[in-house]
């Protein structure tokens, strides 16, 4: 079975606890730096995602691991071995591209077998491996069809099979679901997750889809302008972002700009530019040298009240500008007396939605917001 085959002679000796390591990697194109000192380690069997907006350098980073680009400085290692002089076809990694990159003139079976034939494997072994991965991706009955006769999801399965048949140490996924419609994308997310769990391979995925990264990944690296802003588990990235960019890019949030007015052992008092006083629970990452501050509070952490609540911290008056029923929740936009517009997400337990213009009070706990340095370093 393919599960056991991932530890065969095709792969390099396990000289490292990590399957992929990037050490201060830079990439410059025509004087423009696309990747700036990127460093991270990916553990064996991990599902690791590189997440960021278009043009942030995430695809270039993946291509550096694959060998399609060469670092201008720094080093890429796979299973403890430097890949500096190793061409793509000799690296223990295979890539699944967004556009599938299938050969239109070949059947599904021959597309999958192509790489094995290049390696000059025997006919019986090619047959065994191809049949094995066809079963794995549930495409046995489509072996004799051509790519143009397949749906987008079926072509994606063939692309996965073609990469897996080579039994790589690392599977690289470049926006693998980007060309699929929403419903099919959700289905393929489940299939990718199941494949990862069943095979135990290291998956490295590039995506701009926050929900996709949060739902599939063991850890996520968030990129901006060629740099890594933060690496962490989905929970760490969402609940404890380290920069305003990460807080704003991952999911929805409300950001308040201001300055640190006072602090004690357990909390911070931040005064916003409009004069609001926000109490924030102190976190271990906080530096007392930070004065210009941005407070982030997620929409689902905010509570709405028709009358002033009893809580003494983080209670503000406003008016409802708009409420939208979305089935699982109500999406509200509230304008505070101070002028800020806040997004609030409430569970749909209300029998009727409040009318636009209704006076409301908002509140949240000091532990449900986070203070960040106004400028990331």
- Which pLDDT belongs to residue 364? 96
- Which pLDDT belongs to residue 280? 95
pLDDT in tens, 113-161: 988 888 888 889 999 999 988 988 888 999 999 999 998 888 888 988 9
Q: Which residues contact 250 (CB under 8 A, 6 or more apart)?
A: 51, 210, 214, 222, 237, 238, 241
Is the pLDDT at 258 greater than 80? The verdict is yes
Cα Rg of the chain, angstroms: 25
Q: Where residue 311 falls among pLDDT bands split at 50, 70, 90?
A: confident
Q: Among the ranges 173-177, 184-188, 254-258, which has the highest mean pLDDT value?
A: 254-258
Name the segment(s) of the chain with CATH classification 3.40.50.300: 2-239
If you average pLDDT over residues 337-355, what whole number do you get? 80
User: 285-307 burial string, b = 16+ CB within 10 Å, else e?
Assistant: ebeeebeebbbbbbbebbbbeee
Name the segment(s) of the chain with CATH classification 2.40.50.140: 252-373
> Does residue 330 come out as left (phi exceeding 0), alpha (psi in the -120 to 50 range) or beta?
beta
- Length of the chain counted residue by residue: 377
Contact yes or no for 178/98 (Cβ under 8 A):
yes
- Which pLDDT belongs to residue 166? 87
Q: Where residue 187 falls among pLDDT bands split at 50, 70, 90?
A: confident
- Which pLDDT belongs to residue 7? 40
Q: Where residue 68 falls among pLDDT bands split at 50, 70, 90?
A: very high
Better-predicted residue by pLDDT, 140 or 325: 140
Topology annotation, domain 2-239: Rossmann fold (3.40.50)
Topology annotation, domain 252-373: OB fold (Dihydrolipoamide Acetyltransferase, E2P) (2.40.50)
What is the value of pTM for the model shown?
A: 0.87
């Amino acid at each position: 079975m393919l599960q056991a085959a991932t530890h065969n002679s095709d792969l390099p000796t396990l000289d490292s606890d990590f399957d992929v390591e990037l050490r201060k990697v830079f990439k410059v194109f025509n004087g423009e730096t696309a990747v700036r000192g990127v460093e991270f380690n990916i553990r064996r069997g991990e599902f690791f995602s590189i997440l960021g907006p278009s043009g942030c350098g995430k695809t270039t980073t993946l291509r550096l691991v694959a060998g399609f680009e060469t670092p201008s400085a720094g080093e890429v290692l796979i299973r403890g071995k430097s890949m500096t002089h190793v061409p793509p076809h000799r690296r223990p990694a295979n890539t699944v591209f967004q556009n599938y990159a299938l050969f239109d003139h070949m059947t599904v079976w021959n597309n999958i077998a192509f790489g094995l034939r290049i390696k000059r494997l025997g006919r019986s072994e090619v047959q065994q491996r191809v049949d094995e991965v066809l079963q794995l991706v549930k495409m046995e009955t489509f072996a004799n069809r051509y790519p143009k006769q397949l749906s987008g999801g079926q072509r994606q399965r063939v692309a996965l099979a073609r990469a897996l048949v080579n039994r790589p140490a690392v599977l690289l996924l470049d926006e693998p679901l980007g060309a699929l419609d929403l419903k099919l994308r959700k289905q393929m997310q489940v299939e990718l997750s199941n494949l990862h769990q069943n095979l135990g391979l290291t998956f490295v995925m590039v995506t701009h889809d926050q929900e996709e990264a949060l739902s599939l990944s063991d850890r996520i690296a968030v990129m901006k302008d060629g740099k890594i802003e933060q690496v962490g588990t989905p929970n760490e990235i969402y609940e404890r972002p380290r920069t305003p960019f990460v807080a704003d890019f991952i999911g929805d949030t409300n950001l308040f700009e201001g300055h640190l007015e006072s602090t004690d052992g357990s909390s911070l008092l931040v005064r916003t530019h409009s004069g609001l006083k926000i109490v924030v629970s102190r976190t271990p990452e906080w530096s007392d040298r930070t004065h210009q501050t941005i407070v982030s509070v997620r929409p689902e952490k905010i509570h709405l009240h028709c009358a002033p609540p009893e809580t003494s911290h983080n209670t503000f008056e406003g008016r409802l500008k708009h409420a939208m029923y979305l089935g699982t929740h109500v999406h509200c936009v509230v304008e505070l007396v101070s002028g800020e517009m806040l997004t609030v997400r409430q569970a749909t337990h209300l029998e009727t939605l409040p009318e636009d213009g209704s006076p409301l009070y908002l509140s949240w706990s000091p532990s449900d917001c986070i203070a960040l340095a106004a400028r990331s370093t």
